[in-house]
């Protein structure tokens, strides 16, 4: 019978209570190191070697217990024979704390047409998995059910052609890094008018029925590419503590980066843009424009429980050919005081070729009279254009801002470059106007380098020092008198570097290869600027066992050979440190 890919629920439960499993069919044991798919029978003393084998014999209700912390070849393993049994199979670690599910080495199928769900789990890393053509739901889900899921890393994964989200997070302390989410939210593909039920491609979300409203905390989305989303691109919904950094988000139907009922976030060094009119949305007045850029709001269904949007830093972003680049949406159904925002800081962004009526939209109609007054907001050191509509034939440059009084009462607006002249109002005192002189006068959007500026730009040395922001989008240092916009002009380096090389835009530490290894492995990392670098190896107790690098290195990609011949078998950690970056990864040495 031909194998069929089915939905499988992967649950890493770290509470072992025999009574919990008494009603299930059986336990099937898997040992990637010492198991045997030929002579093994799946018992604790004679385990299978691969999860693929266990999936072939498992039936609904079975528990598959993985022995060992590292499992490779993951993405071709969960194939169940089509025997009509569609009950859930649970996969969990056998008496160990950390589990790594690695798709490297998968050689049977190229991808997995199912949902990968991690729930009720801690200390799990998922990497090198591809989930595609899922026409029923999401691609990869990290959720909390009976217990809170925490400390999950999703790295180097891909999702494509998913009905709803590409990657959905309902957990805390989660990192999604270097993933590709393409063609998500297909449920909306034929919905070209209307505003209900739009799932984002890469998102956090807490359902109001969940007992813990602060479930999503400390979330990082970094170095990802989100494209062709028929909903929002990246969204943080009811999230406390989040980062969106070094992502490329292009061609979305709704907002590119959206914060809803969320607080204490950073949105930095992202490139946001549209390449065509395919994803343009039609508004009620008949206008069709690309999606909005970086937005925030307090929407929802149970407004009393929701949060004011506050304490968000938005800086070093490049936003090209979108609808309004920034904005606040007022949900007229929310009559509670939390239908508001405060301490939104927008620094060092470059905005160009905005399509629509405004480049910075703050809702100015039907404002909630009960809202907490917005306060503490700043718009400083940005390059921004007027929006234009229609786009091609006789375009009309409309305005920078809406008619909201918030700009005057709640925002500090200074040291910005207004490309098409000053806005109406008192904005000519501490701002500049005119052509910023981009490097590529044709403003081609296939490279962010085109929006660097020339040596005679009026934006150079025209900015205000912002405490805590020490580098630009390309990780060039910001001087005491900085340049306005996402790029810090540097006459000695800057304009010849191609930042389309995503790896060199930021610090990154790659997974060692091979892993597990015996006795040697290679460790690779990237550094964007000359820095003092240390790379060290630690054992499971935290003791340093070897120092590989401890010196200044120039910007570039590096790989170092590590031989563990003098060490014992086991789990080790390698840590990359600089003045502004630190990351640790796990590797396994098997003699």
User: Which pairing describes strands 281-282 and 3-4: parallel, antiparallel, or unpaired?
Assistant: unpaired
C-alpha 339/C-alpha 484 separation (Å) is 32
Assess whether pLDDT exceeds 60 at residue 133: yes
**Token pair listed for 422:** 């000053």
Residue located via tokens 């604790």? 44
Assess whether pLDDT exceeds 80 at residue 191: no
Comparing 63 with 473, the larger pLDDT belongs to: 473
C-alpha 54/C-alpha 41 separation (Å) is 9
pLDDT for 103: 61
What is the per-residue pLDDT across 169-178, written as a single tens digit (0 to 9) for each? Answer: 988 999 999 8
Assess whether pLDDT exceeds 90 at residue 385: yes
pLDDT for 496: 36
What is the per-residue pLDDT across 478-502, written as a single tens digit (0 to 9) for each? Answer: 999 999 999 998 664 433 334 344 4
Assess whether pLDDT exceeds 60 at residue 97: no
Domain locations along the chain: 1-184, 509-589
Comparing 360 with 307, the larger pLDDT belongs to: 360
Mean pLDDT value of segment 64-73: 65
Mean pLDDT value of segment 314-318: 97
What is the per-residue pLDDT across 395-449, written as a single tens digit (0 to 9) for each? Answer: 677 899 999 999 999 999 999 999 999 998 878 778 999 999 988 766 666 677 7
C-alpha 434/C-alpha 395 separation (Å) is 19
Comparing 377 with 331, the larger pLDDT belongs to: 377
Confidence bin at 290 (pLDDT 50/70/90): confident
Assess whether pLDDT exceeds 60 at residue 14: no
Question: What 3-state DSSP class applies to 448?
Answer: helix
Assess whether pLDDT exceeds 70 at residue 88: no
Cβ-proximal residues to 476 (8 Å cutoff; 6+ apart), any chain: 487, 488, 490, 493, 494, 529
Confidence bin at 161 (pLDDT 50/70/90): confident
Mean pLDDT value of segment 554-582: 85
Mean pLDDT value of segment 13-39: 62
pLDDT for 145: 65
Share of the chain above pLDDT 90, in %: 35
Cβ-proximal residues to 433 (8 Å cutoff; 6+ apart), any chain: 417, 418, 419, 420, 421, 422
Assess whether pLDDT exceeds 80 at residue 180: yes
Cβ-proximal residues to 369 (8 Å cutoff; 6+ apart), any chain: none
What is the per-residue pLDDT across 245-275, written as a single tens digit (0 to 9) for each? Answer: 999 999 998 899 999 989 999 999 999 999 8
Identify the CA nearest to 288 among candidates 184, 192, 400.
192
Cβ-proximal residues to 376 (8 Å cutoff; 6+ apart), any chain: 342, 343, 410
Comparing 64 with 109, the larger pLDDT belongs to: 64
Confidence bin at 109 (pLDDT 50/70/90): very low
Identify the CA nearest to 70 among candidates 570, 584, 591.
570
Comparing 6 with 382, the larger pLDDT belongs to: 382
pLDDT for 556: 77
Domain 509-589 architecture: Sandwich (2.60)
Assess whether pLDDT exceeds 80 at residue 41: yes
pLDDT for 17: 26
pLDDT for 441: 62
pLDDT for 190: 65
Share of the chain above pLDDT 70, in %: 74
Comparing 391 with 287, the larger pLDDT belongs to: 287
C-alpha 22/C-alpha 378 separation (Å) is 59
User: Which pairing describes strands 70-71 and 99-102: parallel, antiparallel, or unpaired?
Assistant: parallel
On the question of a cis peptide bond just before residue 519, with omega within 30 degrees of 0, the verdict is yes
User: Which pairing describes strands 318-320 and 271-273: parallel, antiparallel, or unpaired?
Assistant: parallel
Give the DSSP letter of residue 291.
P
- Say how many CA atoms lie within 13 Å of 389 toward its Cβ: 18
Confidence bin at 460 (pLDDT 50/70/90): very high
Mean pLDDT value of segment 521-550: 87
pLDDT for 285: 62
Assess whether pLDDT exceeds 70 at residue 110: no
Mean pLDDT value of segment 89-102: 61
Question: What 3-state DSSP class applies to 57?
Answer: helix
Assess whether pLDDT exceeds 70 at residue 135: no
What is the per-residue pLDDT across 271-281, written as a single tens digit (0 to 9) for each? Answer: 999 988 887 77
C-alpha 73/C-alpha 108 separation (Å) is 9
Q: How much is the mean pLDDT over the chain?
A: 79
Assess whether pLDDT exceeds 70 at residue 531: yes
pLDDT for 1: 30
pLDDT for 156: 85
């Amino acid at each position: 019978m031909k194998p069929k890919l089915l939905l499988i629920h992967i649950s890493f439960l770290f509470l072992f209570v025999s009574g919990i499993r008494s009603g299930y069919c059986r336990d099937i044991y898997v040992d990637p190191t010492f198991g045997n798919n030929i002579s093994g029978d799946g018992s604790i003393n004679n385990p299978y070697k691969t999860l693929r084998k266990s999936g072939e014999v498992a039936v609904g209700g079975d528990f598959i217990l993985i022995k060992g912390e590292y499992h490779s070849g993951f993405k071709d393993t969960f194939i169940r024979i089509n025997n009509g049994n569609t009950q859930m199979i649970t996969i969990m670690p056998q008496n160990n704390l950390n589990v790594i599910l690695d798709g490297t080495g998968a050689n049977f199928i190229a991808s997995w047409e199912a949902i990968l769900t991690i729930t009720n789990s801690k200390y799990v890393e998922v990497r090198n998995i591809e989930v595609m053509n899922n026409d029923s739901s999401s691609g990869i889900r990290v959720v909390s059910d009976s217990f809170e899921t925490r400390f999950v890393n999703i790295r180097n994964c891909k999702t494509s052609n998913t009905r709803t989200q590409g990657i959905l997070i309902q957990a805390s302390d989660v990192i999604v890094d270097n993933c590709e989410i393409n063609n998500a939210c297909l449920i909306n593909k034929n919905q070209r008018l209307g505003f209900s039920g739009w799932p984002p491609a890469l998102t956090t979300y807490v359902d109001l029925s969940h007992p813990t409203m602060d479930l999503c905390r400390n979330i990082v989305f970094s170095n990802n590419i989100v494209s062709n989303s028929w909903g929002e691109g990246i969204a943080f919904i009811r999230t406390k503590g989040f980062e969106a950094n070094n992502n490329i988000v292009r061609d979305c139907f709704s907002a590119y980066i959206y914060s809803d009922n969320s607080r204490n976030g950073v949105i930095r060094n992202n490139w946001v843009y549209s390449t065509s009119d395919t994803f343009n949305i039609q508004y009620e007045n008949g206008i069709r424009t690309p999606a909005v850029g970086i937005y925030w709001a307090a929407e929802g269904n149970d407004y009393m429980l929701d949060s004011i949007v506050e304490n968000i830093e938005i800086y070093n972003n490049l936003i090209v050919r979108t609808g309004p680049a920034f904005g606040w949406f007022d949900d007229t159904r929310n009559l509670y005081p939390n239908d508001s925002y405060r301490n939104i800081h927008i620094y060092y962004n470059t905005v160009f070729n905005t399509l629509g009526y405004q480049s910075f939209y703050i809702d100015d109609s039907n404002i909630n009279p009960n809202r907490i007054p917005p306060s503490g907001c700043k718009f400083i050191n940005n390059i921004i254009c007027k929006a234009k509509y229609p786009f091609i034939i006789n375009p009309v440059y409309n305005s920078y801002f809406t008619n909201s009084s918030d700009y005057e009462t709640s925002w500090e607006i200074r040291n910005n470059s207004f490309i098409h002249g000053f806005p109406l109002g008192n904005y000519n005192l501490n701002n500049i106007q005119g052509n910023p002189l981009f490097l590529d006068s044709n403003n081609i959007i296939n490279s962010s380098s085109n929006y660097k500026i020339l040596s005679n730009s009026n934006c150079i040395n025209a900015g205000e020092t912002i405490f805590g922001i020490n580098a630009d989008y390309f990780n060039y240092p910001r001087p005491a008198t900085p340049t306005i916009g996402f790029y810090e002009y540097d006459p000695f380096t800057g304009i010849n570097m191609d930042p389309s090389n995503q790896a060199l835009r930021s610090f990154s530490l790659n997974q060692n290869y091979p892993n597990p290894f015996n006795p040697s492995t290679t460790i690779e990392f990237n550094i964007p600027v000359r820095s003092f670098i240390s790379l060290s190896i630690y054992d499971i107790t935290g003791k340093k066992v070897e120092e590989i690098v401890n010196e200044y290195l120039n910007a570039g990609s590096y790989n170092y050979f590590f031989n563990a011949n003098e060490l014992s078998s086991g789990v080790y950690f390698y840590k990359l440190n600089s003045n502004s970056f630190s990351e640790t990864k796990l590797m396994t040495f098997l003699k």
